[in-house]
Amino acid sequence: MNPIKKLLDNLDLISNEFKEINDTDVREQLSELLEGILIKQDGYEIPKEVGMFSDLANDKVIKAMIEFRNDIAVIGLKKFKDRREARKFIQQNGVESNSGNLYDEYFGHMDMCEISKKTRWWKLW
């Protein structure tokens, strides 16, 4: 199974019980977490919480993200060199969950122009 689809399906299950997973603060933290995993993979220290309202909810989300990191390691997904490359991979693959949710439901969308403002322009081309 595609690791991104599996992650989205896992987050859908969590969202059935914990609606705060769609809050802006949680999305922003999940976005940083996802990018960290894709860029650093096993070298990225996953935080213990992502802004959920309870320890149980945070634990479930973190478990899903750790599972994602393990899944991409198993398939040998290469590390991405920067945020732009990682975001491009996530945003352009068109994977959706069984419920029809895309990445932006949990990680938000980042315009490639927005990324370029945070990256040296000469590294973009």
The residue ranges of DSSP E strands in the chain, in sequence order, are none
Q: For position 112, what pLDDT does the model report?
A: 58
The domain segmentation of the chain, as residue ranges, is 3-123
> Of 23-27, 40-44, 85-89, 117-121, which gets the smallest average pLDDT?
117-121
- Could you read off the pLDDT of 18-62 as tens digits, one per residue? 999 999 999 999 999 999 999 887 788 999 999 999 999 999 999
Whole-angstrom CA distances from 120 to 1, 30, 39, 67 are: 35, 24, 17, 32
Q: How many CA atoms lie within 13 A of 7 on its CB side?
A: 27
